[in-house]
Amino acid sequence: MRIAEQCVAEITGTFLLVFAGTGAMMFNELSGGAITHPGIAATFGLAVMLAVFTLGRISGAHINPAVTLGFWAAGHFETKRMAPYIASQCAGAILASGLLLGLFGNQADMGATLPIAIDGQRLVYPCLALETLCTFILMFVILRAAVDGGEKNFTVAVVVGGTVAMLSLFAGPISGASMNPARSLGPALASGNFTSFWIYLLGPSLGALLAVPAWRATRLAKRNPEPR
């Protein structure tokens, strides 16, 4: 598969994720809460599921710089393709947020990921830990399903999309459950709100990298089972 086709797929998939997911956050505010938080979490999960199912055979449907980093660290992605993939993912996110801004104006900070504030203080470091842990779980699931599992594309799409929805359900109200630097970049640029933005670069990247040795440990355990 040519790199140009893969980059187009990454742009398209990330556009779908950000347009649908952050759009749901904006529309929830515009409609007075009609979509609800579970609806927003489901939208993110379904967007990922559709992207993986439709584009997975073209580019792998990373749609996330942290996932690309994780695949690279796991030895399943070429170094020369990292910059084009990450640039494509960021471009897709920026295009989606720019279109939403042009159509509806700045609503709900364009779906920006922001740490929760309690008594006027944002929980920066707890949210950094949460983003790291959530991305660790997501990357571990992706590696197990896509690399080890041998499942069909539809099964991988359902598993990964379901994982995103589950993590968004419980972590979304606290840290935004980004797990994706590109997903955070688009709304931040469109809204001009870069509050604690570094969390959403560092946390997902660290979580994806930490998932790789955990994944390798499970592979080692599979090759060397305990004697009965």
pLDDT in tens, 17-60: 999 999 999 999 999 999 999 999 999 999 999 999 999 999 99
Output the domain CATH number for residue 169: 1.20.1080.10
Distances, alpha carbon 115 to alpha carbons 4, 180, 211, in Å: 36, 15, 23
Q: What is the pLDDT of residue 19?
A: 98
Q: What is the pLDDT of residue 217?
A: 93
Tally of domains within the chain: 1
Which residues, 6+ apart, have CB-to-CB distance to 208 below 8 Å?
66, 67, 69, 70, 73, 135, 136, 139
Residue 146 lies in a domain: yes
Q: What is the pLDDT of residue 136?
A: 98
Hey, what amino acid is at 181?
A: P
State the residue for tokens 């790789």.
Answer: 212
SS percent in the chain: helix, strand, coil, step 5:
75, 0, 20
Question: Which residues is 117 bridged to in the sheet?
Answer: 122
Q: What is the pLDDT of residue 153?
A: 85
Which residues, 6+ apart, have CB-to-CB distance to 111 below 8 Å?
18, 21, 22, 23, 24, 25, 26, 97, 100, 187
Distances, alpha carbon 63 to alpha carbons 17, 109, 110, 154, in Å: 8, 22, 19, 17
Residue 226 lies in a domain: no
Residue 74 lies in a domain: yes
Confidence of residue 134 (pLDDT cuts 50, 70, 90): very high
Which pTM does this prediction carry?
0.93
Residue 32 lies in a domain: yes
Does 12 score more than 60 pLDDT?
A: yes
* Whole-number average pLDDT of the chain: 94
Residue 161 lies in a domain: yes
Structural domain that includes position 158: 3-221
Residue 227 lies in a domain: no
Which run of H or E residues covers position 159?
Answer: helix 153-175
Distances, alpha carbon 110 to alpha carbons 24, 99, 106, in Å: 10, 11, 6
Residue 67 lies in a domain: yes
Does 227 score more than 80 pLDDT?
A: no
